[in-house]
Amino acid sequence: MELIFKVLGTVGLSIIKYLIGVTFALKWLNPIEGFLSTTIGSSIAVLIYVYGGTELTRFFRERKIRRQGDKYKKPLVFTKKNRFLVKIRKNGGLPLVAFLSPVVISLTVGCLLAITFIHNRPKIVTYMIISIFIWGIMIFGGKNLLYSQFGWGLAK
């Protein structure tokens, strides 16, 4: 029963933030359980953000307009943010965003960023889940390797 709560807690934390879920999985679970629970939680998060991201963005934009009322100014076309998006799109595109999303930038930001320049949602989901899978293998495989070779880590 305790294991079920740990796995469900890790899945829930991975939905919120990948690294938080990984941290708790490294502490609470063995590498296979940790890998599976964080991968499942993060995959759920990707599905939520990719397919609900447009509505989420629209909600925050409309909320900003309502709050500011007459003071609201339409965003400029050439901003630092737009230049950054163009730079990412030219240099790496979706593969770069997907690779950086779980660990460097959050899944939320990565999914919303990917939606801004790629409109093929199944492609975004595929790249993001592959990236989560690769990061999981590196993190939990590294934990298992360090523990088996040197006795380091928290493996049970």
pLDDT per residue of the chain (156 residues) written in tens, 0 to 9: 888 898 888 899 989 888 898 889 888 888 888 899 999 999 999 999 898 877 777 887 788 777 777 776 666 667 776 677 777 777 888 888 888 888 888 888 888 888 877 888 999 999 999 999 999 988 888 766 666 656 555 444
Predicted local distance difference test score (pLDDT) of residue 1: 81
Helices 93-100, 107-117: axis angle to 10 degrees equals: 170
